[in-house]
Structure 1
């Protein structure tokens, strides 16, 4: 390996460093020559708590790396960004990114962790404008090579933080209280996702708030095949959602769409499903029957009912890591989650059974949600 041409080393490392950066970490310890050749691959997978200080550190470090090797530019392929809440825009880091990447001290082995992580301790002053500017700069730097991107927003975001197109992005996940991407062409910003295949939006909180009009994504992601909406609060009006997958919808609505996954907010573990919850999931289930693509109603995660923000962060990060490793992440489905019935009023029993069974049986009997055959089935499980 010491005698191979640098071009060959880079080709080999490009194929070898397709994991969670463990290969890049190991290569950096082989020899000085291999250490230098493997430097750009340490930026391939990045997880960042996006305070102002951490954003500055990342931008500085990747800028230094680009200047020292203009012919071998570092490429970030997979990015996880956890945005701070309003009080933490200027939160500082106890270990800067430059130290984490550039230090050669043997006592700092954690700097080589497969996915770069940054401390969330310490506080400094910062403004939202500074934070937005640095976040936009970071996305500008990584946009051309990014393949998977998960964004966890602690507060409402302005669409102007996304100034670039993402030509290689194939999977995008957004966790927020409302859909934060403003795709209005009149804003002067260009949002283009020509390679996007999977889009996942997870709604934060349990409040009855619409996740926003996801139809704004339609002209920006022409190749989208998989759409998932998680932790969807109860909606009085489902028309905006149904338009995305109904048979008589606009032909431009995700022409390549193959499947839709919808995960409603689960009922309280203590109280079980209420009549309003049963009504909501039943309307969702019935709307899926005439859909032009399979629509899967995914059972909600009861542990996330009323959970704090960090629970959503952990779940989003686990799914992101699983997808990088080649897993299915949040895209696992079961055939009994989809309504394929052509006739009759079918109820999603797998969602009704999420609460306490005794309460489910009482509600379904009183309200007549289940047929006698379905009730007989429930009594046998």
Structure 2
């Protein structure tokens, strides 16, 4: 190690720190010299699981930035790959009290710090991502996966939680090319409304993946419009590749929600028919359903390590 230039060691450590922080932590514990080399590199890939860890990360990150600036180090800690997701305690907290101002403030502070440098991000927190994106620009972000849910129950009965309104999204995502939306509930807005906002904010996206699609969300109507119209008239004109991942087939033949196995079969048949008749300039692929929580972490790590991530080449480009 003593024979290698510091620049080479930084590059080696940068390549090693691609698993969300675990390797960077272990490298820092080897020795004092390893700790100093890894200090700016270990933030290359950061996985924050659980809201309680956001403020802890912010303290560590700001302390390391201040220390390295004091030492006049040439390499500053830079976050390039970010995973923000929840744990079981977060779900209980949100159901009980809703999203707090302190949580939203912490998320805003975090994204303000790392927004200028991140290249890939996976986000599944209860504060809608559109609210956060309205406050900051992400000039280098190329790949984004986010969970689209509505944390507070909504129904049309008297006294129900009103449908939220979100601030307009600025065009702060000029580098975004791959967008993956995981739909859990869309009770606040339909798929066409959601994607229209992203078509404005990220007009250069070429790859779109929508997971957990089901009937009643407006997704099939949006897809039909994409397939039937000319490119410049489509709701998202820049898109050249669409990956649809339907909802999981119901276990029982019937259930109270109406999502029976028969309806699921009809949904898949319609999607396959769309795929067969897709225009030459629009590649449409259907992926098999998957548990999104397990899928998210696995695909994010794979992408940060240089793999296909959420965009497996063999399935994405082969009809």
**Same fold at TM > 0.5:** yes
Query: 1:46·1:76 contact (CA, 8 Å) conserved in 2?
Result: yes
SS at match of 1:68: helix
**Number of residue pairs aligned between Structure 1 and Structure 2:** 290
Q: CA deviation at 1:7?
A: 5.2
Cα distance between partner residues in 1 of 2:249 and 2:307? 28
Cα distance between partner residues in 1 of 2:49 and 2:317? 38
Structure 1 gap segments, 5+ residues each? 92-124, 305-311, 339-381
SS at match of 1:326: coil
Change (3 A) 1:242 1:50: farther
Change (3 A) 1:129 1:240: same
Query: 1:243·1:249 contact (CA, 8 Å) conserved in 2?
Result: no
Change (3 A) 1:174 1:38: same
SS at match of 2:79: coil
Mapping 1:1-381, distance limit 5 Å = 1-2=1-2, 6=6, 9-11=9-11, 13-14=13-14, 17=17, 24-25=24-25, 27-29=27-29, 31-51=31-51, 53-70=52-69, 71=73, 72-83=75-86, 85=90, 87-88=92-93, 128-153=100-125, 155=126, 157=128, 159-162=130-133, 163-177=135-149, 182=166, 184-185=168-169, 190-204=170-184, 210-211=190-191, 212-235=193-216, 237=218, 238-251=220-233, 254-271=236-253, 274-288=261-275, 289-291=277-279, 292-301=281-290, 304=291, 312-332=292-312, 333-334=314-315, 338=319
Q: CA deviation at 1:164?
A: 1.3
Structure 2 gap segments, 5+ residues each? 152-163, 255-259
Q: Deviations over 1:64-122 (max 9, x none)?
A: 11111124321111111114646426x9xxxxxxxxxxxxxxxxxxxxxxxxxxxxxxx
Cα distance between partner residues in 2 of 1:206 and 1:300? 18
Cα distance between partner residues in 1 of 2:128 and 2:85? 12
Q: TM-score, normalised by structure 1?
A: 0.64
Query: 1:144·1:168 contact (CA, 8 Å) conserved in 2?
Result: yes
Q: Deviations over 1:191-220 (max 9, x none)?
A: 52222121111122699x844521211132
Change (3 A) 1:134 1:168: same
Which residue number in structure 2 is paired with residue 97 of structure 1?
Answer: none
Q: Deviations over 1:264-297 (max 9, x none)?
A: 1132234396332233233333344144411112
Query: 2:243·2:316 contact (CA, 8 Å) conserved in 1?
Result: no
Flag the structure with larger Rg. Answer: 1
Query: 2:177·2:206 contact (CA, 8 Å) conserved in 1?
Result: yes
Which residue number in structure 2 is paired with residue 351 of structure 1?
Answer: none
Query: 1:183·1:216 contact (CA, 8 Å) conserved in 2?
Result: no
Cα distance between partner residues in 2 of 1:260 and 1:139? 28
Q: TM-score, normalised by structure 2?
A: 0.75
Query: 1:166·1:193 contact (CA, 8 Å) conserved in 2?
Result: yes
